Amino acid sequence: MDADLDAMTPMELAAEVRKLRAAIRAHRDSTRHELCWHHPALWGLLPEKTDPLPAVPAWPQFLRGCIHYRQSLDAQLPDAPRVEDEL
Q: Is 83 contained in some domain?
A: no
Does residue 32 come out as left (phi exceeding 0), alpha (psi in the -120 to 50 range) or beta?
left
Q: Is 59 contained in some domain?
A: yes
| pLDDT greater than 80 at residue 36 | no
| pLDDT greater than 80 at residue 87 | no
Average pLDDT, the chain: 90
Which residue range forms the structural domain that includes residue 15? 3-76
Q: Is 48 contained in some domain?
A: yes
What length does the chain have? 87
* Whether the Cβ atoms of residue 4 and residue 47 lie closer than 8 Å to each other: yes
| pLDDT greater than 90 at residue 76 | yes
H or E segment and range at residue 27: helix 10-28
